[in-house]
Amino acid sequence: MTLGDDSPGDDALDDSADDERLGRSGAYSKGVARRQEILNRAIDVFAERGADGASLRSIARALGVSHAALLHYFDSREQLLVAVYDHANRQRPPAPDATALSSLTDAAEHNTSVPGLVELYTTLVATSLKEDSATAREYFTARFARLREDLAARLRQEQADGLVRADCDPDQVAALLIAASDGLQVQWLLDPSLPLARSLGALGGLLAPPR
Amino acid sequence: MTLGDDSPGDDALDDSADDERLGRSGAYSKGVARRQEILNRAIDVFAERGADGASLRSIARALGVSHAALLHYFDSREQLLVAVYDHANRQRPPAPDATALSSLTDAAEHNTSVPGLVELYTTLVATSLKEDSATAREYFTARFARLREDLAARLRQEQADGLVRADCDPDQVAALLIAASDGLQVQWLLDPSLPLARSLGALGGLLAPPR
DNA sequence: CCAGAAAACCGACCAGTGGATGCTTTCTCT
DNA sequence: AGAGAAAGCATCCACTGGTCGGTTTTCTGG
């Protein structure tokens, strides 16, 4: 277990923080290339064969390596999947000057456009709730906290600018926005006929200041 | 596979619809008792040992039976878990004359008070997204549809009564409310310091008619 | 340039999983 | 009592994530 000898300087997270973060990135050039390859192929396998079909052996087969090779780059399947999700998200750099709502709508649009992404996200959130979840829990708590902070700041600004009604707490609304976006994506995946964007838009209407 | 001989009159769903629905309920009295026993113990195991710890063998061990016995009452682990969730929900009969928002707040309160319930719910929703999900998908699509309809009706009434602002689409807001409630419960489970009720309350504030 | 250290990778193995199957035991109804 | 269905078990299966020891490949410092 990674419990007995959690060596000082947990190298799974804090090395080469500028580019990639989860799991060992290779020291040799072949290694870093493989790592990218894994991340890229894994999302495909996930999209094609679903969460259950994306076993370590299945992903490894798609790459022509053994499943042990994957565990050389990532401590666990969980960590691999988190890295895949993280990787998929870094493909879409966030627009810094977007509205709180529009940034969420954009993200939702992106998620629903990449096959398998919402399923991956939901799967990972579910595993992050398990008590013994190692990587996922840490990752998503941090992600939610960061997102809430970011959105709350945006909302405060928009309140000051008169774009958002003033009689609501930005912190609560930030949590609310994220929750609504996540929940709607799930509902949409179960029933794609739902107008995801429009529902989020309705929330925008509720946030607009009274005229 | 249950694919070859999906016999006519799928008895897993349509028999004894008044009380229980998922999986075979016993024809002998001992059988129906066992079924209740399974449902009751399973939720405990889930609460104590988490989603991963709730394997068929683990649950069976807690009952003093073999894991094959469980599969005699339920077609699959997935179906068992759905039945457990359904069972846990039937414990709490819904108040018929509640506000759209208050009914959700109550439900959220209930979910967060029963250990393991939110984790079970999230796990099941995640599995319902998998392509080959048999029972869960059907169950949750139906659940979401029913919930949306019910909430939308409540909202329309409240709009007519002047309790909810009129300039929003009840259907969109219904989906929104469910999504927000679900998403907030997840965030709360990852960080229990979040004021779940207050966040939902903020949504109530947004829905209130302008004064 | 080449020795040697580290990285990359494999094959074999392990305990545990969900599920299928065939058999025995227990129950209930006529 | 006896037929027939339900309840339940032992056993098997393919597969999973993860570990381990060993081999090959890749790089770097002298």
B21 pLDDT band, cuts 50/70/90, is low
Q: Cβ contacts (< 8 Å) between A131 and chain B: which residues? A: 50
pLDDT at A88 over 90: yes
Burial (CB count <10 Å: 0-12, 13-18, 19+), residue B146: exposed
pLDDT at A15 over 50: no
Which whole-number Å values give the CA distances from B161 to A10, A87, B158, B164, B209, in the listed order?
59, 49, 5, 8, 11
pLDDT over 70, % of chain B:
89
pLDDT value for A4: 37
pLDDT in tens, A100-157: 999 999 999 999 999 999 999 999 999 999 988 989 999 999 999 999 999 999 999 9
Nearest CB to A167 within list B50, B175, B205: B205
pTM (2 d.p.): 0.90
User: Mean pLDDT throughout B171-186?
Assistant: 98
pLDDT in tens, B71-93: 999 999 999 999 999 999 998 88
Specify which residue's alpha carbon is closest to the C1' of nucleotide C9: A69
A23 pLDDT band, cuts 50/70/90, is confident
The gap between B53 CA and C22 C1' (Å) is 29
Strand C interface, protein residues by Cβ within 7 Å: A 24, 26-28, 30-32, 34, 60, 64-66, 68-69, 72-73; B 1-2, 28-30, 55-58, 67-68, 71, 75-78
- Report the b/e string of A191-202 with b at 16+ CB within 10 A: eeebebeebbeb
pLDDT value for B15: 38
Helix B117-129 and helix B77-90, axial crossing angle in degrees, nearest 10 = 130
- Report the b/e string of B20-58 with b at 16+ CB within 10 A: bbbbbbeeeeeebebbeebbebbbebbbebbbeebebeb
Nucleotides of D under 7 A from a protein CB: 5-11, 15-21, 25-27
Taking CA–CA distances from B166, the nearest residue in chain A reads A206
Q: Which of B148, B150, B203, B140 is nearest to B178 (CA)?
A: B148
CB contact under 8 A, A183 and B187: no
B1 pLDDT band, cuts 50/70/90, is very low
Q: How far is A64 from chain B (nearest CA, A)?
A: 25
* Pair B82, B12: CB distance under 8 Å: no
pLDDT in tens, A176-188: 999 999 999 999 9
pLDDT in tens, A46-72: 999 999 999 999 999 999 999 999 999
Instruction: Extract the tokens encoding B24.
Output: 């075979």
Q: How far apart are alpha carbons B152 and A203 in whole angstroms?
A: 15
Maximum pairwise Cα distance, chain A: 63
The gap between B29 CA and C29 C1' (Å) is 14
CA angle A204, A207, A208 (to 5 degrees): 90
A21 pLDDT band, cuts 50/70/90, is low
